[in-house]
Amino acid sequence: MSDFDTVLHPDHVVPIMPRRQVLSDHSVALKGGQIAAILPRSEALLIDVEHTPLPGCVLMPGLINLHCHSAMSLLRGYADDLSLMTWLQDYIWPTEREFISPDFVRDGSDLALADLLLGGTTTLADHYFFPDVTAASIDRAGLRGLLTFPVIDVETGWARNAEEGINRGLALRDDYRDHDRIDIGFGPHSTYMVKEETLAKVAVLADELEASVQIHLHESREEVLTAVERTGVRPVDLLERLGLLGPRTQCVHMTAIGEQDMETVAKYGAHVVHCPRSNLKLGVGICPVQRLLDLGINVALGTDGAASSNRLSMLAEMQTASLIGKTQHGDPTAVDAWTALEMATLAGARALGKEDTLGSIEPGKVADLIAINVSALPLSPNHNLASSLVYATSGQEVSWSWVAGKPLLQDGRLLTLDYTDLMTRAERWSQQLGAFRKTLES
């Protein structure tokens, strides 16, 4: 019996660890859904197993999208060029009250998963209503996911109140307790949509269960000012007071933060999830990524939902994160290409508590991989592969994708999702949602 199941032969390997390395003329051998070895090409070609040539491609770890609202793909372009609270209060929340259902979440999630795969994501953290439906979609499509179930102190289509949401979420966590690709965590929406007593309850439960917590935090200056008026403290200080900051906490957005906020996050080892394109489009500010990194804070990347970011391409997020990071700090060396690549891979794994199994191409880690075609004219010549991957890609160069060694994308073709069916379902929703939008504007 061979030590390997299959061997992948890209032109180059970007393993992420060791850091800032490119391996040329090397192959990656897989066994039982894991990375078994990285070998010189001459040795790998002698192995008597299945071989997969990947000419013109760079093989790297699958990208980890740490914040997404998958089902909101059905609201792509639905309410653009609006301020955050106008967007939420006048369009998104009324539409969700009208349409949120298992069918909406299933169709939106399936559409999103296709977009995510085409953009390089193999693992996502999703935060939306009916997480059981999204979990089932992720399972069918073959991706890896963290579902942070919504905790919010208003009635929704998912739950009548926060208590019911927590109970349903805990039941879902029990359902997926032994799943090898899907985890369940807590998703309190924000400090302005969740009462202090509810946040305190989440803190206790998450600590007891050693579960991830993801929360929208310091997303805008208005959020922070309102929090100070209402509670007397800034949102991050409120989480500190309630015991909700820690190494399993994922703080999403973090655009309106000062030095003291950053020091508090660093003190507790919490993670920051940067969603650059969504933040720019909603005009809420820019997360000071390089400053956070300099303080030793782990910063991962997320696309947010397609309702605000329009695309779910992690390649596009990497590029945007690097470019605006340089502008934010007035320094062309800030958030360099290698840093952006690490944010989209190993930093995401670290935020999930899975850096021992995800985020880099190392023997013993799971075989979550993508192959990116860098042979096209707009990417040539490849003087610096990290730069080509971050600055020269358009977001459509992912040609292969594997999760636990199973191919989900082959030569740009989806293997676990039906493209035609997805388009048909999206058009059906487009007609219904478009008609409702007209009533909101009348």
Q: Does position 152 have pLDDT exceeding 60, yes or no?
A: yes
Query: Where are the chain's structural domains?
Result: 6-61+368-411, 63-351
Measure Cα distances from 435 to 336, 431, 439, 442 in Å.
45, 6, 7, 11
> Residue 319 contacts by C-beta under 8 Å, 6 or more apart in sequence?
340, 390, 391, 393, 395
Mean pLDDT over residues 251-279, rounded? 97
Query: Cα separation of 303 and 274, whole Å?
Result: 8
Higher pLDDT, 287 or 396: 287
227-240 residues labelled b (16+ CB within 10 A) or e (exposed): beeeeeebbbbbbb
Q: Does position 219 have pLDDT exceeding 80, yes or no?
A: yes
- To 10 degrees, what angle do helices 196-209 and 162-175 make? 10
Query: Cα separation of 77 and 59, whole Å?
Result: 33
The verdict on whether omega for the bond into residue 55 sits within 30 degrees of 0, i.e. cis, is no
With bands split at pLDDT 50, 70 and 90, how would you rate the model's confidence at 69? very high
Mean pLDDT over residues 139-167, rounded? 96
Mean pLDDT over residues 120-131, rounded? 97
The DSSP annotation for 35-71 comes to EEEEEEHHHHTTS-SEEEEEEEEEEEEPEEEEEE-GG
Quote the mean pLDDT of the chain: 96
Q: Does position 380 have pLDDT exceeding 70, yes or no?
A: yes
Query: Cα separation of 179 and 160, whole Å?
Result: 28
Mean pLDDT over residues 410-416, rounded? 97
With bands split at pLDDT 50, 70 and 90, how would you rate the model's confidence at 395? confident
pLDDT at 3: 87
Phi, psi values for residue 107, rounded to 5°: -70, -40
pLDDT at 382: 86
DSSP code, position 228: H
Looking at the DSSP assignment, which residues form a beta bridge with residue 184? 147
Tally of CA atoms within 13 A in the half-sphere of 300 that contains its CB: 33
Q: Taking the complete model, does pTM exceed 0.75, yes or no?
A: yes
Measure Cα distances from 188 to 39, 101, 155, 336, 352 in Å.
45, 20, 14, 32, 17
Least confident of 35-39, 95-99, 270-274, 356-360: 95-99
Question: How do residues 336-366 score in pLDDT, each as one tens digit?
Answer: 999 999 999 999 999 999 999 999 999 999 9
Mean pLDDT over residues 221-227, rounded? 94
Mean pLDDT over residues 17-29, rounded? 97
Mean pLDDT over residues 9-20, rounded? 97
Mean pLDDT over residues 146-153, rounded? 97
| β-bridge pairing 182-188 and 34-40 | unpaired
Q: Does position 1 have pLDDT exceeding 60, yes or no?
A: no
What is the residue whose two structure tokens read 């949401």?
Answer: 165
Query: Cα separation of 147 and 109, whole Å?
Result: 12
DSSP code, position 19: T
Q: Does position 371 have pLDDT exceeding 60, yes or no?
A: yes
C-alpha torsion angle, residues 110, 250, 171, 206 (rounded to 10)? 170
Cα 400 to chain centroid, rounded: 19
With bands split at pLDDT 50, 70 and 90, how would you rate the model's confidence at 88? confident
> Residue 85 contacts by C-beta under 8 Å, 6 or more apart in sequence?
222
Query: Under CATH, which number does the domain 63-351 receive?
Result: 3.20.20.140
8 Å CB contact between 100 and 55: no
Number of H helices, E strands in the chain: 18, 17
With bands split at pLDDT 50, 70 and 90, how would you rate the model's confidence at 87? confident
Instruction: Give the residue among 260, 397, 255, 242 at the shortest CA–CA distance from 325.
Output: 255
Query: Cα separation of 135 and 124, whole Å?
Result: 11
With bands split at pLDDT 50, 70 and 90, how would you rate the model's confidence at 2? confident
Q: E strand or H helix at 292, and its extent?
A: helix 289-294
- Domain 6-61+368-411 belongs to what topology? Urease, subunit C; domain 1 (2.30.40)
Query: Is residue 421 packed enough to be buried (19+ CB in 10 Å), middle (13-18) or exposed (0-12)?
Result: exposed
Q: Does position 189 have pLDDT exceeding 90, yes or no?
A: yes
Which tokens is 402 given?
């594997």
Instruction: Give the residue among 124, 172, 177, 137 at the shortest CA–CA distance from 151.
Output: 172
Sign, CA torsion 434/435/439/441: positive
Mean pLDDT over residues 241-252, rounded? 98
Q: Does position 182 have pLDDT exceeding 80, yes or no?
A: yes
pLDDT at 418: 97
Mean pLDDT over residues 193-198, rounded? 96
8 Å CB contact between 426 and 115: no
pLDDT at 83: 85
Cα 212 to chain centroid, rounded: 14
Mean pLDDT over residues 47-54, rounded? 95
Q: E strand or H helix at 241, and its extent?
A: helix 235-242
